[in-house]
Structure 1
Amino acid sequence: MTYHSTTSNLRTHLLTIHPGKLSEQSEGNQPPLKQARISAFLPPSSSRGLPAARQASITDKLTRFICKDMRPINISQGSGFKDFVYELEPRYTIPSRATITDRVVKLYDTTKDNIIQTISGQKIALTTDGWTSLATEAYVTVTAHFINEEWELKDVLLKTIEAPKSHTAENVAKYICGVCAFYYHGQRG
């Protein structure tokens, strides 16, 4: 055995010549620490970052929350919202408004493409609903109804359009034609 100032040689010697002695020693009770470890004072989640897949999943859910519940994008920048998210997942980093805006646009495009794919080749019936907001702004909502291959009745809200003109048959027909052009790229069927 070579003698140097490190414990590596001693450890190697014990592992090869006296393997039972080393394992007995390591299994013994450790004396209590005289000083607490710093990790005892930190929140348990702060020791590691949030995995990228989990970060992306939460951001996706945040984007869908904003869209489904029609919330303003800047809801994610409020101090109350940040406190709430921190309580749920301290490692999550809330994205900027620009990032969320970009994700909302992508979700819109994806949803539109999914609707086009869902209704393409279907025989659909359209219904309209004229309504007025609390701010007395008039709107027309166009919905498609169809029966899928499994004989289930399905509805897809196609578009809600601000309708500043009165809800006459002529104006509603123009709104419907605009929606059809939007989804069918001008094709009639």
Structure 2
Amino acid sequence: MHEYPLSYADHVATREVFASMQPTFKMPRRNTIKKDILEMYEVEKPNINKMMDANNSRVAITTDMWTSNQKKGYMVVTAHYNDSSWNLEMRVYLKLCF
């Protein structure tokens, strides 16, 4: 929402705020968050590929690029399609461009 970098999780004040709200919560470090995101991507990628292979409808693909406040470039690819029950579905792939 605010385009904060993952290093935000390592700021002392951030950790103090989370600890004051829930003392038993262990705030993960930025490297842990990054690792978890990449692991989720690796798990979901084959699932999405399998789902798209089974899809009999056409797929509309759109792209968008922008630069964050931190001057990092991003690209998103969005796929819209109808499932077998004619429900509109959407899948998003976000790529950080260095």
TM value normalised by structure 1: 0.40
Bigger RCO (CA 8 Å, 6+ sep): 2
Q: Identity across aligned pairs (percent)?
A: 19
Change in Cα spacing, 1:133 to 1:81, as seen in structure 2 (3 Å) is same
Aligned to 1:155: 90
Larger strand percent: 2
SS of 2:54's equivalent in the other structure is: coil
Q: What amino acid does structure 2 have at the position aligned with 1:81?
A: T
Contact (CA 8 Å) 1:148, 1:154: kept in 2 or not? Answer: yes
The number of residues matched between the two structures is: 95
Gaps of 5+ in 1: 1-67, 163-189
Cα RMSD of the aligned pairs, angstroms, is: 3.2
Larger helix percent: 1
Change in Cα spacing, 1:78 to 1:148, as seen in structure 2 (3 Å) is same
Aligned to 2:27: 94
The 5 Å alignment of 1:61-72 reads 71-72=4-5
Instruction: Name the larger-Rg structure.
Output: 1
Contact (CA 8 Å) 1:126, 1:142: kept in 2 or not? Answer: no
Q: 2:38 matched to 1:105?
A: yes
Aligned to 1:74: 7
